């Protein structure tokens, strides 16, 4: 099927320590947010969530891991805390609310500001097992990274290495061997087809696209 691309909680089997070791070894993680500061004296932290843009272009949606924040941050959900790229611990969400452009969270067994001050600049992630299963015409952001970009003339340009969200539409950064990176706007006239199974995306090279 051709489509145009627009874009659990862990069970505690033995002890918390054993569970965390197993999660660290076996799970692939995806970022949902970054703790940027504390917010109150009662252990609340201020989180900037990863891009939660949910776009609809033609027939395919691309969804970030932070879509549906009420599910991502609902009470009882376990988030993995990463410090300097390394898994540190699991945190269970106690409460969540929105404040301006931030998500404010508290965690179980963290009732005081002193309990969370050390989490500043740490990342919150979910495991691949925690991601909702999507329909065939939907993709998560992390599924876009690694897509091979092919023009309508059959030229292989490279693979998507990163997604930027500077404004009304996303921009894909495409790495090329021995050449400068390409910037591909994620708009319907350009990206017209994605082969999800084979990790390929097909584009129209509009006049001036790479100038």
DSSP track, 126-169:
EEGGGSPPPPTTEEEHHHHTTPEEEETT--EEEEEEEEE--SSS
pTM: 0.54
Q: What percentage of the chain exceeds 90 in pLDDT?
A: 33
Mean pLDDT, all residues of the chain: 76
Find the mean pLDDT for residues 174-191: 87
pLDDT at 195: 85
Pairing type for strands 182-185 and 60-63 reads unpaired
pLDDT at 24: 44
Strands of the 148-151 sheet, one edge to the other: 182-185, 171-175, 156-164, 148-151, 200-203, 191-195
pLDDT at 21: 44
pLDDT digits (tens, 9 = 90+) for 127-177: 766 665 655 556 667 778 889 999 999 999 999 988 876 667 788 899 888
138 has which bridge partners?
A: 61
Contact 133, 39 (CB under 8 A): no
Contact 32, 20 (CB under 8 A): no
C-alpha span between 113 and 58 (Å, rounded): 46
C-alpha span between 203 and 153 (Å, rounded): 9
197 has which bridge partners?
A: none
């Amino acid at each position: 099927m051709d489509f145009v691309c627009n874009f659990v909680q862990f069970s505690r089997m033995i002890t918390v320590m054993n569970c965390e070791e197993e999660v660290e070894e076996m799970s692939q993680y995806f970022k949902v947010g970054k703790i940027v500061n504390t917010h109150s004296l009662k252990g609340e932290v201020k989180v900037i969530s990863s891009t939660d843009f949910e776009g609809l272009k033609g027939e395919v949606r691309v969804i970030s891991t932070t879509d549906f924040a009420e599910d991502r941050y609902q009470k009882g959900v376990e988030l993995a805390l990463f410090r300097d790229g390394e898994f540190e611990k699991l945190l269970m969400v106690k409460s969540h609310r929105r404040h301006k452009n931030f998500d404010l969270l508290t965690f179980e067994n963290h009732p005081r500001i002193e309990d969370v001050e050390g989490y500043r600049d740490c990342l919150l992630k979910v495991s691949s097992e925690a991601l909702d299963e999507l329909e065939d015409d939907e993709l998560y952001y992390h599924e876009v990274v690694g897509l091979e970009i092919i023009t309508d003339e059959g030229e292989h340009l490279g693979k998507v290495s990163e997604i930027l969200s500077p404004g009304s539409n996303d921009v894909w950064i495409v790495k090329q061997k021995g050449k400068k990176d390409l910037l591909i706007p994620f708009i319907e006239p350009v990206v017209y087809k994605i082969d999800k199974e084979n990790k390929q995306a097909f584009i129209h090279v509009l006049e001036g696209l790479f100038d």
